[in-house]
Amino acid sequence: MKLMGMGLEIDQEDYLTSLIETSFSETLEAVDIGQQLRESFSFILNNLEETMNKHDYLLDAFVMSQTCKEQVEEDDIDDGIELF
């Protein structure tokens, strides 16, 4: 792509054009890296959310099992009757 003349010497224009192209390429690379980071963080957050959901499920199940166990133990103690 040829730009209109900038009123500079040819080598100066070539240098500036090269600098602009290089800067643009580096910017595109940075954007790509940013997108990859965003996707990585999104993946990590999804995994953390799934882990937290599993943790909550396991914690609830544990608490329920402990509650049931305590209830059975209380029922055994409250009977006060020994069977032979």
> One-letter amino acid identity for 21?
E
How far apart are the C-alpha atoms of 1 and 12, rounded to whole Å? 17
Q: Where are the domains positioned within the chain?
A: 38-76
pLDDT of residue 10: 85
The C-alpha atoms of residue 26 and residue 29 are separated, in whole angstroms, by 5
pLDDT at residue 60, as a whole number: 94
Token code pair at residue 44: 């990590």
Average pLDDT for consecutive 10-residue bins of the chain (84 residues)? 70 90 97 97 98 96 87 65 59
Tokens 């029922």 appear where?
A: 75
